[in-house]
Amino acid sequence: MERKQHYQKKERTDIIYGIHSVIEAIKADRELNKILIQKGIQKEVFNELREALTGKHFQLQFVPAQKIDSLTSGNHQGVVAFVTPIEYKEIETLVDQMLEEGKKPTILVLDRITDVRNFGAIARTAECEGVDAILIPSKGSALVSSDAMKASAGALNRIPVCKTDDLKNSLFYLQQSGLRLVACTEKSATPLYQVNLRGSVAIIMGSEENGITQDLINMSDIKAKIPMRGEISSLNVGVATGMVLYEKLRQELYS
């Protein structure tokens, strides 16, 4: 009679669990993508965590116990934190440094791209096409996780990723620093190939569901759309990003 094999659950390497471990990570200023807190957590545990989070800006999410149980078999005490595999950069510092060195930065701005694998694939394309940095909002966006790292084929180890609590304010800073804001949106009447993408630019790509936030479109210097003939009204954002970045590189190399 064949004996059934029992497989032990493989623990994830991108999480920290347990109240004291998470608090120590917070105090040590470790890069954390988000913290999951079990709904109905003990009041004393929550107060201890809240005290450690004072003045911090981590993304918090309250979830059922089953969600946290599915992540680890360890004694998590209702608290799990996701550790980012990279160190996020400050977009202001990074751009200032590039400009001081005489570079013409190309920044790719991802407005509410939530699919982790899409994000990783976009980062791979961005690295191939010579993008200097990627800028993302700290909330409502896919962050750099182990899945994103895999999808990027190592690109996220090579291209700086900057995270901001106020995307509009960060874009205003880039604008004031001499970068033109280019919004890729179907709301534009100007086809992409008629737009000058050379030089210092911040190219904004929006979510597949809602596109670019209207406030960001309004403040953009240039609005362009990708010409299409088919009946489907939108492209996958990863494909669209590749087309826009290729057009920029084509203009700079061949025209």
- CA 114-109-239 angle, 5° bins: 65
CATH number of the domain enclosing 45: 3.30.1330.30
Q: Is 89 exposed, middle or buried (0-12, 13-18, 19+ CB in 10 A)?
A: middle
Residue range(s) defining the domain that contains residue 27: 15-83
Same domain, 97 and 74: no
Domain-embedded: residue 6:
no
Is 5 within the bounds of a domain? no
> Do 109 and 22 reside in the same domain of the chain?
no
Same domain, 206 and 168: yes
> Are 117 and 231 members of one domain?
yes
Residue 17, amino acid = Y
**Residue 1: DSSP 8-state:** -
Phi first, then psi: give them for residue 143, nearest 5 degrees.
-110, 175
Residues 126 and 194 in one domain: yes
Domain end call among 37, 64, 83? 83
> Does residue 1 fall inside a structural domain?
no
pLDDT tens across 93-104, in order? 999 999 999 999
Rounded Cα–Cα distance for residues 61 and 35 (Å): 6
* 128 and 246 share one domain: yes
Six-digit token string for 221 = 């210097």
Helix (H/G/I), strand (E/B), else coil: 160: coil
Rounded to whole angstroms, the Cα distance separating 177 from 166 reads: 17
Specify the number of domains making up the chain: 2
Q: For 118-144, what is each residue's pLDDT tens digit?
A: 999 999 999 999 999 999 998 889 989
Q: Could you list the pLDDT tens digit for every one of the 255 residues in the chain? A: 455 544 445 556 688 999 999 999 898 888 888 899 999 888 888 899 989 998 888 888 999 999 999 998 888 999 999 988 888 999 999 999 999 999 999 999 999 999 999 999 999 999 999 999 999 998 889 989 888 999 999 899 999 999 999 999 999 999 999 999 999 998 899 999 999 999 999 999 998 888 999 999 999 999 999 999 888 878 899 999 999 999 999 999 987
Backbone dihedral region for residue 55 (phi beyond 0: left; psi -120 to 50: alpha; all else: beta): left
